[in-house]
Structure 1
Amino acid sequence: MNNAVVMNIQKYSIHDGPGIRTTVFFKGCPLDCWWCHNPESQNFNFELMFFKDKCSGCGLCAKKCKQEAISIKDSLAITDNSKCILCGKCSEVCINQARKLVGKEFSSKELMKEIKKDEIFYEESDGGVTFSGGEPLLQIEFLEEILKLCKEHGIHTTVDTSGYSDFSNFERIIEYTDLFLYDIKHLDDNMHKKYMGVSNKLIKENLKKLSDKNANIFVRVPIIRGINDDDKNIGETIEFLKDINISKLNLLPYHKMGMEKYSRISKKYKLTGEEKPSDDEMEKILLKFKELNTNIKIGG
Structure 2
Amino acid sequence: MGTAPLIFNMQRFSTHDGPGIRTTVFFKGCPLACAWCHNPESQAFAPELMVDEERCRSCGLCARACPQRAIEIDPERGVARTDRARCTACGACADACPQGLREIAGEPAPPPAELVRRLLRDRMFYEKSGGGVTLSGGECLAQDIDYLVELCRLLREEGVHVAADTCGAAPRAHLERLLPFVNLWLYDIKVADETTHRALTGAPNGAILENLAYLAEHGAHINVRMPIVEPVNSGDDDIIAAAEAIKSYAGLCPVSLLPYHTTGNGKYARLGRAAPAGAFAVPSAQTMEHLRDLLRERGLLQVEIGG
Shorter-chain TM-score category? over 0.9
**Change in 2 beyond 3 A, CA 1:246/1:178:** farther
Aligned equivalent of 1:23:
24
User: Which letter does structure 2 place at the counterpart of 1:285?
Assistant: L
Q: Could you give the per-residue CA deviations for residues 177-229 of structure 1, whole angstroms, max 9, x where no partner exists?
A: 00000000011111101111100111111111111111000100111111111
Say which of 84, 102, 107 aligns to 1:104. 107
Partner-residue secondary structure (3-state), 1:63: helix
Conservation of the 8 A alpha-carbon contact between 1:214 and 1:245:
no
Distance across 1 between alignment mates of 2:21 and 2:252: 22
Say which of 134, 137, 140 aligns to 1:133. 137
Aligned equivalent of 1:269:
275
Q: CA deviation at 1:145?
A: 1.2
Q: Could you give the per-residue CA deviations for residues 124-181 of structure 1, whole angstroms, max 9, x where no partner exists?
A: 1110000000011111221111001101111110000000011111000000000000
Question: Within 5 A, what are the aligned runs for 1:173-188?
Answer: 173-188=178-193
Distance across 2 between alignment mates of 1:176 and 1:245: 22
User: Which letter does structure 2 place at the counterpart of 1:21?
Assistant: R
Task: List 4+ stretches of structure 1 deviating above 3 A.
Answer: 271-274
Distance across 2 between alignment mates of 1:273 and 1:190: 19
Conservation of the 8 A alpha-carbon contact between 2:84 and 2:272:
no
Equivalent pairs: percent with the same residue? 42
Partner-residue secondary structure (3-state), 2:179: helix
Conservation of the 8 A alpha-carbon contact between 1:3 and 1:108:
no
Distance across 1 between alignment mates of 2:84 and 2:290: 47
User: Which letter does structure 2 place at the counterpart of 1:136?
Assistant: C
Question: Within 5 A, what are the aligned runs for 1:1-300?
Answer: 1=1, 2-74=3-75, 75-106=78-109, 107-139=111-143, 140-243=145-248, 244-245=250-251, 247-271=253-277, 275-291=281-297, 292-300=299-307
Distance across 1 between alignment mates of 2:251 and 2:192: 18
Q: Where does structure 1 lack aligned partners over 5 or more consecutive residues? A: none
User: Which letter does structure 2 place at the counterpart of 1:178?
Assistant: N
User: Which letter does structure 2 place at the counterpart of 1:298?
Assistant: I
Coordinate RMSD, CA, aligned: 1.4
Conservation of the 8 A alpha-carbon contact between 2:152 and 2:182:
yes
When normalised by structure 1's length, the TM-score is 0.96
Q: CA deviation at 1:110?
A: 2.6
Distance across 1 between alignment mates of 2:251 and 2:123: 30
User: Which letter does structure 2 place at the counterpart of 1:248?
Assistant: P
Distance across 2 between alignment mates of 1:276 and 1:60: 40
Aligned residues: 300
Distance across 2 between alignment mates of 1:86 and 1:246: 46
Distance across 2 between alignment mates of 1:61 and 1:293: 54
